[in-house]
Amino acid sequence: MTNQGKGAIDIVLAESFKELAVQKPIEKITIKEITDKAGVIRPTFYNHFQDKYELLEWIVQDELIRPLQELILDGMFKEGVIRALKNMQKEKGFYTSAAKLEGQNSFPEILKSEISKLLMDQVCVESVNAEIPYNWLTPKRVADSYAEFMDFIIVDWVKDGMAIPAEELVDTVLFLLSHSTIDLFAKVWKKK
């Protein structure tokens, strides 16, 4: 391997992990398998990550959140989400395997947490507080709610085989985020 810096090792370990995840469930992948495939020794892994779930978190941050964040900073939310989804499509086998994980260190939990952090990093808390009518409804709770929604949509999309084009999925998400449930269902409710 050339370029033995921390970033280069992280990438090699991530690629090894992703290749293995296509072949077998993530919960059955061992650190030894990751390091053997990457051509490094086990202590190298532990110099970079505590466990495979921290590596999964790093992958989510590197492949999904950072590219999205860069475009959000330029006011291009839609384009950022499309880029993140297209990154997932390029690694469809890995993300399909990751979406099957359940529990505390699962892909859905990591993704939800990272989306919430991203939203909190991008908002002016004072502005959000001024719009919220109740003290208990904090900007963090609002960010968590939107993160839960986006996480559900994305994980469901992955589990359905990523059949919907990324652009269409993002348009749908933006439509749902910009319209209230009451507005969407008002006509149906009035008929009954």
Residues 6+ apart with CB under 8 A from 128: 139, 142
Each residue of 57-90: pLDDT tens digit? 999 999 999 999 989 888 899 999 999 999 999 9
**Residue burial 87-111, b: 16+ Cβ < 10 Å; e: rest:** bbeebeebbbbbbbbeeebbbbbbb
Q: Where are the domains of the chain?
A: 75-191
Over residues 4-23, the mean pLDDT reads 89
Share of the chain above pLDDT 90, in %: 69
> Lowest-confidence range among 3-7, 103-107, 176-180, 182-186?
3-7
Confidence of residue 4 (pLDDT cuts 50, 70, 90): very low
| Entry pTM | 0.87
Closest CA to 161 of 97, 79, 80, 113: 97
- The answer to whether 43 touches 9, Cβ cutoff 8 Å, is no
DSSP string, the chain: ----SHHHHHHHHHHHHHHHHHHS-GGG--HHHHHHHHT--HHHHHHH-SSHHHHHHHHHIIIIIHHHHHHHHTT-HHHHHHHHHHHHHHTHHHHHHHHT--STTSHHHHHHHHHHHHHHHHS-HHHHHHH-SSTTS-HHHHHHHHHHHHHHHHHHHHHTTS-S-HHHHHHHHHHHHHS-HHHHHHHHHHH-
Each residue of 113-157: pLDDT tens digit? 999 999 988 876 677 767 777 888 888 888 999 999 999 999 999
Over residues 16-31, the mean pLDDT reads 97
